[in-house]
Structure 1
Amino acid sequence: MAGANVIYGLGLQEGGMTMDAAQLVFDNEVARMVRFIIGGIPVNDETLSVDAIKEVGSFKDFLMHPSTLKYVRSQSRTEVICRKNRSKWENDGSKDTAAKANEKARWIIENHEIKTPISKEARSEIDRILKSSEKDLGY
C-alpha cells in the first residue's frame, strides 16, 4: 500500500514466531508516539508559547504555566512508559515498563468483550489449521 504509514510486527518476538501480549501493549504505545510525530507537530506562536515566554521572562519557571500544562499532555500520553520522577515512581510501587505492560495486557485479555463473535465455521477452520500445524511440528 504505497504512501501508507504502516507499522508492522507489533508484539512479535523470535523473528515473528512468537506473539507476546505485553510486548504488543508496549509496541502499541511506541507506535502511537511514532504516528503522532509522523502526523506532524504543530509549530506556531501558540504551541511555542511565545506569549508565555514574554510573560514569564528569561530563566524562569515555565513548568506550572497554563500553556505548558495545556500542551504537555498532547505530546505524550503514555500508559506503560513512566514519565514520573523517581520519588513519585517509587511511591507508586516502582513498577517497570515490562510489569506495567504485562498488567495492562492481562487486564485487556480478562476484560475484553468480543463485539462480533467468530462464526462456528471460522472457529472450526482455525482449529483445523492449528491441529495441522501442531502435527507438522510434531506436537
Structure 2
Amino acid sequence: DQQHLTGLGSIDSAKGISFEQFIVDSYMWDCCKNYLHEVEISEEKIGLDAVKEVGHGHNFLTHPHTLRYLRGELTFWEKEKLDLLEMDDKELHAEANRIVKSILDKHQVEPLANDLIEKGDAIIAKYEDIMGN
C-alpha cells in the first residue's frame, strides 16, 4: 500500500501553486505521516506480563519490553520543521521564502546519461519523420 498525497503547494482551490506553501505543506506532511501506519495490537506488544511484573505505581521505562517496542512507536519531529509550523503567519511566510530561495540557489541538476539523451533524440527524430518535419 502506498500513500498518495496531492495538493502540496496548492492555493486558491488549486488554481495556483506557491513554493512557500509547498514548503509548509511538505513539512506538515513529514510531521504527520508517521501517524498513518497501522497499529499492531497483539498480546506480545500489549505486554500484560510486563505490567504484571512491574506492578502498579512503578517505572516501566527501563523494562526490557518497553525498550524493545518503544522506538518503533515514537515519532521524532525535526526541530526545523516543527519550528516553522509553529510560527505566526508573517514569520512563516518569510521563513518559507528563505527556504525556497536556499533550495533554488543550491540545487544542482545532474546531467542526463548519454544513453538517455540518445533515446530521447531517437524518439524526437521518429516523431519528426512521422510528422514530416
Q: State the structure with more CA Rg.
A: 2
Q: TM-score, with normalisation over the residues of structure 1?
A: 0.48
Higher share of residues assigned helix: 2
